[in-house]
Amino acid sequence: MKKWLGIIALFSLVFALAACSDSSDGSGGDSDGGGESASGKVEIFSWWTGAGEEDGLLALIDLFKEEYPDIEVENAAVAGGAGTNAKAVLATRMQGDDPPSTFQVHGGAELNEGWVAADKMEPLDDFYKENDWMDKFPEELIDLVSSDGHIWSVPVDIHRGNVIFYNMKVFEENGVKVPTTFDEFFEAADKLKAAGVVPLALGDKESWTATQVFENVLLGVLGPDDYQKLFAGEIALDDAQVVEAAEKFKKILGYVNEDHASRNWQDSAQLVANGEAAMINMGDWAKGYFVNDLDMETNKDFGYFAFPDTKGDFVVITDTFGLPKGIENPKEVKKFLTLLGSVEGQDTFNPLKGSIPARVDADPSKYDQYGKDTMEDFKNARLVPSLAHGSAASAGFLTKVNQAVNIFVTQGDVDNFIQALTNASSEM
């Protein structure tokens, strides 16, 4: 797991931020223990707006308001899957020394090589100890939100990225079995295509969704050790295994809906919900969307399985919130962070969001079968960080990969793609 944190990041956006970093250190690292009356305002910045995204956040805010009726909460969410727009807005605000009270940030490179390296965050070591959290989160997860010997944020959830959701009726009607390998996947996809069903839904209006598919193909082909080595710069991006992954990715793209470029992730998930498409590879926020927004039932209307050849692996995406430097009301923000890291907060948020709790002592009975299965998998699987969601490598590298993927999806030129990835590797 240390490798996750050891990846050197030299990305332009955060460097720019580091250059104009604010040295004020007004908020300190202590918890105030909670309980006493509090007022003021907490602005919560995320990209959880609308369908499939905001249910968990709103429930958490309600819980917070119940406990602290005198603290005003501003939900400053900016629409756009995977933070496509929110991250740019956040960068502008941080650069202008106008940080939100707290903001959504992925554990791993996005946090540590981004905002921490830019000296924009307060350490939370004492806060963790005061809340007695050191053994309440898996060690690997604490590692993922730590760097330079300090802890920098509080994980609210764990999402899995290497999962495929499928329409159970469509599989049944077409006599398709759940595939576990790439060969079985292509066999199933051929059968579905012949029957006039779109095998795999894709909505890459924002290119991260296609990058997410590619990262899972990489994991399936390289396996977890070499996948990690790739992002640690120990395996070249023009390695034969990466070329093989690019070829498989190209083949998979031959099975997606034609209008993929005009859909976002929710629009593409709808294709699976209404039976026009059979499967979708999407992080399990899609489960929250299916269940809470589309009224679908787990293991009745939709099923799930690990992305081909990645069964024992778990691509981790963790949403976390920290304490930016220079905010006016750290005391109130810490009350929100305390709720976010509590069993009650996590068990309120995660069943709605589709994710599993980051804490080890949450209550499994609050989760559906998908949640229960995923909690088990998380304990037993090999954990690897997601590139598409900013944990495996720097933001600068990810931006270039997204661009390369975007071009590859239309042109399908493996040589050009590998060249573009190789050129991007200097940013890793």
Give me the residues that bind ligand BGC (CB under 6 A), please: 47, 53, 81-83, 159, 283, 285, 317, 319, 389
**Smallest separation, CB 53 to ligand BGC (Å):** 5
**Which lies closer to ligand BGC via its Cβ, residue 279 or residue 317?**
317
**Which lies closer to ligand BGC via its Cβ, residue 186 or residue 285?**
285
CA distance 260 to 391: 25
**Which lies closer to ligand BGC via its Cβ, residue 21 or residue 153?**
153
Q: What is the arrangement of strands in the sheet containing 356-357, beginning at the earlier edge strand?
A: 356-357, 157-160, 313-317, 382-385
**Which lies closer to ligand BGC via its Cβ, residue 21 or residue 318?**
318
**Which lies closer to ligand BGC via its Cβ, residue 192 or residue 282?**
282
Residue type, 122: E
**Which lies closer to ligand BGC via its Cβ, residue 335 or residue 389?**
389
CA distance 217 to 180: 13
Helices and strands of the chain, counted as H and E runs: 18, 15
CA distance 339 to 347: 11
CA distance 189 to 184: 8
Neighbours of 13 (CB within 10 A): 18
**Which lies closer to ligand BGC via its Cβ, residue 1 or residue 387?**
387
In three-state form (DSSP H/G/I as H, E/B as E, the rest C), the secondary structure along 360-371 is: CCCCHHHCCHHH
**Residue partners of 258: CB distance under 8 A and separation at least 6:** none
**Smallest separation, CB 83 to ligand BGC (Å):** 6
**Smallest separation, CB 82 to ligand BGC (Å):** 4
**Smallest separation, CB 44 to ligand BGC (Å):** 13
CA distance 286 to 339: 24
Residue where the block lists tokens 């899609």? 286
Residue where the block lists tokens 């573009």? 420
**Which lies closer to ligand BGC via its Cβ, residue 319 or residue 332?**
319
**Smallest separation, CB 229 to ligand BGC (Å):** 24
**Smallest separation, CB 425 to ligand BGC (Å):** 23
* Minimal CB distance residue for ligand BGC: 285
Helix (H, G, I), strand (E, B) or coil at 102: strand
**Which lies closer to ligand BGC via its Cβ, residue 27 or residue 112?**
112
Q: Are strands 277-281 and 319-322 parallel, antiparallel or unpaired?
A: unpaired
CA distance 409 to 254: 10
- How many residues would you count in the chain? 428
Phi-psi region of 254 (alpha: psi -120 to 50; beta: other; left: phi over 0): alpha
